[in-house]
Amino acid sequence: MKVTQLDCLCVILLHLLHTAGSEKFEVLGPTDPIVAVAGDDIILPCYLKPNISAEDMTVDWLNLDFKDSRVYRYQNHRIIRDYQIPYYRGRTSLFEEELWRGNTSLKLTRVQGTDEGRYKCFIKAKSWYDDFTIQVLVKERGGMGLLCESEGWHPEPELAWLDSKGVHLSAGPPETHRDFKGFYRVKQHVIVQETDTNRFTCRVQQSRINEKMETEVHLLY
């Protein structure tokens, strides 16, 4: 049988159409919120349908409640740490050994109250992308919540919670707001456990102008 140029062209076009169509997928996850207990590790389920490999795709996890929202990125077969929210460094990972079957779930360790929010699993291939959003709720395991807030600063100050020995307490990044006059207001929430002294300090400082304010809290359990 003689094969014409037109026949070859049709075969090539059919092959290209099949290749483009085979890359289409859905990103799926749980419809109910994920409820975590502070201090525990959790998994945010996310997977592709059909269960095709995500090894050659870009996998982005975003926290939609942050302005700079990147929690984790996998791209070109490696982890990309550029522009990652510092708060999540060392606490997030994928199950890379299961990417070949479309498992793009995120593991988040040492959950804190400030991890609560909306997380988007965004998967991008060469010619297709899809995403899914998961709500995370955090329950506190004992302890007591403290809030420190200060305003009227310029330039932007640094805020930190310290224990009685001056050691920084683990907390999420402070919330920062700027008013119409250009002054900054910062606040930070932290969960503390009972200690031998039950004394904690909120420190707000601006190193550039050598200004500092501290407030000590003494808890009675």
Q: Rounded distance, CA 23 to CA 129, Å?
A: 9
Structure tokens of 111? Answer: 């959950």
Q: Which residues pair with 215 in a beta bridge?
A: 202
- The CATH topology of domain 144-218 is Immunoglobulin-like (2.60.40)
What mean pLDDT comes out for the span 131-155?
A: 86
pTM of this prediction exceeds 0.85: no
pLDDT, tens digit, 9 for 90 and up, residues 5-25? 544 434 333 333 333 345 799
Helices (H) and strands (E) in the chain, counts: 1, 17
| Boundaries of every domain in the chain | 26-139, 144-218
- The CATH topology of domain 26-139 is Immunoglobulin-like (2.60.40)
What mean pLDDT comes out for the span 73-100?
A: 94
- Please tell me if the domain spanning 26-139 has the same topology as the one spanning 144-218: yes
Q: What share of the chain is helix, strand, coil (3-state, %, to 5)?
A: 15, 45, 40
Distance from chain centroid for Cα 187: 20
Q: Rounded distance, CA 65 to CA 172, Å?
A: 13
Arithmetic mean of pLDDT over the chain: 86
pLDDT, tens digit, 9 for 90 and up, residues 206-220? 988 889 999 999 887
pLDDT, tens digit, 9 for 90 and up, residues 34-66? 988 888 999 999 999 999 999 999 999 999 988
What mean pLDDT comes out for the span 154-175?
A: 89
What mean pLDDT comes out for the span 132-161?
A: 87
